[in-house]
Homo-oligomer: A and B are copies of this chain.
Amino acid sequence: MPARTAKTPLSRERILAAATAVADAEGLAAVTMRRVAEALDCEAMSLYYYVKDKSQLLSGLVETVIDQIIAETLAGADQSGPQELSQSGSNPSTADWREVVRTRCLGARKVMLRHPWAPSLVAGTAVVPPNTYLVFEALVGTMIEAGFSYETAHRAIHSLGSMLMGFTQEIFEPDAADDGTTAEEMAAMAAAFPHLGALAGSVTHDQTDSLGVCDTQSEFEFTLNLVLNGLDGFRGND
Contacts and interface: CB of A to CB of B under 8 A. Distances in A.
A161 interface: yes
Contacts of A202: 150-151
Given A161-B168, A165-B171, A195 B155 contact: no
Interface in A83-133: 83, 119-120, 122-124, 126-128, 130, 132-133
A166 interface: yes
Given A140-B195, A150-B198, A230-B230, A171 B161 contact: yes
B120 A155 contact: no
Prevailing SS type, chain A contact patch: helix
B162 A192 contact: no
A14 interface: no
Interface residues of A, number: 65
B219 A230 contact: no
Interface stretch (A30-38, A43-51, A220-228): A220-228
22 contacts: A82-B192, A123-B169, A126-B170, A127-B170, A127-B176, A128-B172, A128-B173, A133-B189, A136-B196, A137-B196, A140-B196, A150-B198, A150-B202, A155-B219, A158-B171, A161-B171, A162-B171, A163-B163, A163-B166, A165-B168, A165-B171, A223-B227
Given A82-B195, A133-B189, A140-B199, 8 more contacts: A82-B193, A119-B123, A123-B167, A127-B176, A128-B171, A162-B166, A164-B166, A227-B230
